[in-house]
Structure 1
Amino acid sequence: MGKRLTWWIIAGLLLGGLLGWGLNTYYAPMGEAGTARLAAIAGYLDIPTQMFLHLIKMIIAPLVVSTLVVGIAHMGGGSAIGRVGLKAFLWFVCASLVSLTLGLILVNVLHPGTGLNLPLPDAAAGSGVDRSSFDVAKFFIHIVPTSAIDAMATNDILQLVIFSLFFGVGLAAVGEKGAPLVRGLESLVAVMLTVTGYVMLFAPVAVFCAVARTLATKGLGVIGDLAFFMGSFYIGLAVLWTVLLGACFLFIGRRTGTLIRYLRDPILLGFSTASSEAAYPRTLDALDRFGVPPKIASFVLPLGYSFNLDGSMMYMTFASIFIAQAYGIHLDWPTMIQMLLILMITSKGIAGVPRASLVVITGTLAHFNIPEAGILLILAVDHFLDMGRTATNVIGNAVASVVVARWEGQLDPPEAAEATVAGMQPPVTADATSFQDGPKG
């Protein structure tokens, strides 16, 4: 079923692209009437996509809380949790610096904005992006939930992680008294992963409609206008993939190829829907089949979705300096390094903010006196860029989970992982006993 789902998603991606291109080609030349017609069609195409994303959001909170609490409860004492958390944090910091630095270097090597020679806009011109949504002080206050129920209702991953961390540590501390609750949560994990398998059956339709809607309204022309910028960024993502997978190879060797094979579904889902939430359940399942203990994957992965968005971070330096180049604004290396360090901090709060990358970029541009209106230059193609950076986020967080598991000496050997895969029958399943193993090694 897993392979069939992959091919169905690819088919949806290609057929959706053809339909969207055909609709745009037919209606766009009709002027305002054609534009209105395309808007109406896009509205209908958006319905299945939004329904699928709502289904994903429906399962995210119970899935994150149950897997994370059970994982923490089975880690044992607080020392094990602190050790895994510290290793994950160190990896996140290193990966963030690498991602931001690669974006900084490549945009200066490729110079995608040089030659555009855009006139400086009026000082009052804004970007149209509300950057008041992000504030460092508010972010640190926001990470502590005032209500676990509210955090679940809004699918605030970072708040869910904080609640689950406290709840899991408390559950481990009470020992045998909490055993019935642990077993109940293990059953909930099994149920939610099975429900996830059902939800994923709708993925090809959602992908088909999402791609068709985007190309129908945007057309291929908008890609051509900024083709060099987009191509340069995707070259950067390819380099980042090479670095991440190369680092992964240093830890697990040839099994890196097997990991990529297991991750093809979540990568395709992330790319085609531009939604990290859509890829989360499949990534968790892929890591489980690969041999990453659920107690580690369910702890590192949610943290990664808040602190380790490698593709998004590369985009921030790349896009910020691209806009400066487009306006002919020269930035020296000390200034660009200062920009990198600021983005290193502000990027850690982007997970729950709408148009998160654009919000942080807008605030950074203002800090360095670069016209915020430059955001409008990349806004038209942001969806196509978001597809690539979301897929990269999936890779980055999966690699982080594998590395931490290997670092802990708890990555299952190839034979055990392959045996697990051979016994999987629907694509997303879970056995409640799979969460009952204690720390290994």
Structure 2
Amino acid sequence: MKLLNNLTVRVLIAITLGILTGYFFPETATKLKPLGDLFINLIKMVIAPIIFLTIVLGISNMGDLKKVGRVGGKALLYFEIVTTAALIIGLVVANLIRPGEGVQTGAVQGGDVSQYAEKGKGMDWGEFFLHIVPSNAVKAFAEGDILQVLVFSILFGVGLTRMGDKGQPLIQTFERLSRVFFNILNVVMVLAPLGAFGGMAFTIGKYGLATLLPLAKLMGTVYTTMILFIFVVLNLILRYYKVSLWAVLKFIKEELLIVLGTSSSESALPQVMDKLESLGCSRSVVGLVIPAGYSFNLDGTTIYLVMATVFLAQVFGVDLTLGQELTIIGILMVTSKGAAGVTGSGFIVLASTLTAVQVIPVEGLALLLGVDRFMSEARSITNIIGNTVATIFIANNEGEFDRRKYNRVLGREEEEVLTNYKY
């Protein structure tokens, strides 16, 4: 019974039951989607206030506004370098394994993709970047627009910092409010197994494991590429500062399982921010990097988008030239940045990319409908791991990483880690 008190165990059991329910009772399972949606909505309810309070308190405690700009600049540079690396890796692997060869378009049950195609053609990416600045701060909070909340929070934190000592009473109030919202989050997390069960049961029940067979090679290629990206690229990034990727993954395993069950990186966003603080990253770095990374550092989504594009080219027999592949990388360097801020983002961004390339039929998106939900789990997990690694890297680079706290939280002695660290 003590084992059931562990959230990780409860979520694992819930995911297993969800898979079994979806497989054996598909009609019932498709009706369980509200359970997953309920949990995600409860998390979304506290995301905006937690991000706002974390950023404002982080900036006000930092005190140095030049440092705020430096951290933000480093984060954006890091995001661009790592997501470009993800694009190149995805492109190389897709060309080597060629998952689209031999796939018959008639063998895969298609669907209506006209809505995505139309939205993709009509996307104005200049308007998206203009949308980053909220015209109404209250609306940004009400709609849960993380990027707009980030911008407003930074400006609010800067304004509060400029007040000096006069702002201290408000800072103390925000400290208390922050504790209240994290207490709410702790209460909500009790329902995590229920959300994971409902989300997984719906996915298996609606799409079925049989839909995976025709595109098994694509799924296997995407999953393998993301695993390589995590344990090679991200591992090397953390290794530079003598931080164990495996230890970090074990530390956030509950959040990763929740993302797996719900197929949503939002479902673990506040918890990861809290855990990164307790792991040794300063509040100011966590508050700036995680929300910004949610839109600008989507490693998993980036890998999926480039591999899906090349896959569809292979299916339709389009032999992409080096120039066309470089064009795809250039387009995705822009379009992938908006993936988290658009409803139905994966297909819309992919449709906009295919439209821009103009050599691959947009209708080919129908081939991906059946497996997209399964691949969204890998995308979401890779995205959240990528942002976790980014935060730890920036915190170390800024000297805002408490190594003693890191060693204490992970249950190891500082001397042992620094002198006998094994990779």
Structure 1 length normalisation: TM-score?
Answer: 0.87
Q: Deviations over 1:77-107 (max 9, x none)?
A: 2210011111111110111101111111111
Aligned CA distance change for structure 1 residues 206 and 97 (closer, same or farther; 3 Å): same
Corresponding residue number in structure 2 for 1:436: none
Secondary structure at 2:340 match in 1: coil
Structure 2 Cα separation of the partners of residues 164 and 140 of structure 1: 17
Q: 1:187 aligns with which of 159, 176, 197?
A: 176
Measure how far apart 1:243 and its partner are: 2.8
Cα deviation 1:166-210 (Å, max 9, x = unaligned) = 111111111111111111111111111111111111010111111
Structure 2 residue aligned with 1:334: 323
Residues 353, 249 of structure 1: alpha-carbon distance in 2 compared, 3 angstrom cutoff: same
- State the partner residue of 2:365: 375
User: 8 Å contact 2:260–2:377 — kept in the other structure?
Assistant: yes
Structure-1 residue corresponding to 2:11: 9
- Cα gap change, 1:403 to 1:93, in 2 (>3 Å): same
1:68 pairs, out of 55, 69, 76, with 55
Deviations 1:221-277 (A, max 9, x none): 101121111111101111111234323333332533321211211211122211111
Matching residue's letter, 1:19: T
In 2: Cα distance, 1:182 partner to 1:2 partner: 39
Amino acid at match of 1:304: G
User: 1:360-408 deviations in whole A, cap 9, x for unaligned?
Assistant: 1101111222111111100111000000010000100000000000001
Which of these residues, 234, 241, 245, is aligned with residue 223 of structure 2?
A: 234
Query: How many corresponding residue pairs?
Result: 401
Q: What does residue 268 of structure 2 align with?
A: 279
Shift of 1:118: 3.9
Contact 1:117 1:327 in 2 (8 A): no
What residue is the counterpart of 2:185 in the other structure? 196
Correspondence list, 1:45-84, <5 A: 45-84=32-71
Matching residue's letter, 1:20: G
Asked if 2 retains the 8 angstrom alpha-carbon contact of 1:127 and 1:375, the reply is: no
What are the within-5 Å matches in structure 2 for residues 180-329 of structure 1? 180-329=169-318
Counterparts in 2 of 1:288-437, with a 5 A limit?
288-369=277-358, 370-413=360-403, 415-419=404-408
**Would you say the 8 A contact 1:69–1:165 is kept in 2?**
yes
From 143, 163, 170, the counterpart of 2:152: 163
Conserved 8 A contact 1:265-1:282:
no
| SS class of match (1:330) | coil
**Partner of residue 35, structure 1:** none
| 3-state SS, counterpart of residue 351 of structure 1 | helix
Deviation string, structure 1 residues 40-76 (Cα, Å, up to 9, x no partner) = x345311211111110111111111111111111121
Letter of the structure 2 residue corresponding to residue 54 of structure 1: N
User: Is the contact made by 2:103 and 2:214 (CA closer than 8 Å) also made in structure 1?
Assistant: no
Query: Could you tell me which residue of structure 2 aligns to residue 434 of structure 1?
Result: none
Q: Any conservation in 1 of the 2:121–2:355 contact (CA below 8 Å)?
A: no
Aligned equivalents of 2:351 and 2:274: distance in 1? 36
User: Per-residue deviation at 1:154?
Assistant: 0.3
Q: Percent of counterpart pairs with the same letter?
A: 36
Return closer, same or farther for 1:254/1:131 CA change in 2, 3 Å cut-off: closer
**How far does the alpha carbon of each residue in 1:332-379 deviate from its partner, in whole angstroms, 9 at most, with x for none?**
111101110111011112212112121111011112221111111001
Distance 1:257 1:323 in 2: 34
Q: Displacement of 1:419 after TM fit?
A: 4.0
Provide the rounded CA distance (Å) in 2 between the counterparts of 1:310 and 1:231: 17
Distance 1:256 1:386 in 2: 22
User: Structure 1's 214 and 256: CA in aligned 2 closer, same or farther, altered over 3 A?
Assistant: closer
TM-score, structure 2 as length reference: 0.91
Q: Say which SS state the counterpart of residue 252 (structure 1) adopts.
A: coil
Deviations 1:115-162 (A, max 9, x none): 22548xxxxx96441325632121122111011110000000010011
Change in 2 beyond 3 A, CA 1:261/1:146: same
Residue from 86, 89, 96 that aligns with 1:109: 96
**Gap regions ≥5 residues in structure 2:** 107-111, 412-423
Unmatched 5+ residue regions in structure 1?
25-37, 120-124, 423-441
Q: Which amino acid aligns with 2:369?
A: L
Instruction: Indicate the larger mover: 151-160 or 2-11.
Output: 2-11
SS for the counterpart of 1:116 is: coil
Q: Which residue of 1 aligns with 2:416?
A: none
- Identify the range of structure 1 (287-296 vs 152-161) with the bigger mean alpha-carbon deviation: 287-296
Q: 2-side partners of 1:191 and 1:23: how far apart? A: 40
Q: Does the CA-based 8 Å contact 2:4-2:10 persist in structure 1?
A: no
- Distance in 2 of aligned mates of 1:421 and 1:163: 34
